[in-house]
Copies of this chain bind each other. A is one copy, B any other.
Amino acid sequence: MKFDLLFKALSDETRREILKMLSERDMTAGEIADKFQKSWPTISHHLEILKQAELITDEKRGKYIVYSLNTTVFQEIIMWFMDTFKKEEKKSNV
């Protein structure tokens, strides 16, 4: 189920940091890896989980793979939260 994968992908601090970084600008795999004191296989595994959850997309540009945030999915999650939370606000006003 899509939301299961989404939230599972978000439940790791390194992956959330990668998303924050990609919210600033698109980055190559190498640039992302440079920001962490972690092995490339570890970072590559995190990127794969984010990709499977469709939180990020990758694109080959020349000899580099460039990662971007998938804003559509972010909007969907925010909508889900707003939806659940709005009902709660309504309830408090009654």
Contact = CB atoms under 8 A, between A and B. Distances in A.
Interface of A: 1, 3-8, 10-13, 16, 19-20, 23-25, 69, 71, 74-75, 77-78, 81-82, 84-85, 87-88, 91-92
A75 B84 contact: no
Contact of A1 (B13, B24, B81, B85): B13
Contacts of A1: 13
B4 A13 contact: yes
A24 to B, nearest CB: 6
B16 A3 contact: yes
B11 A87 contact: no
Nearest to A6: B11
Contacts of A92: 71
A62 B4 CA distance: 36
B85 A71 contact: yes
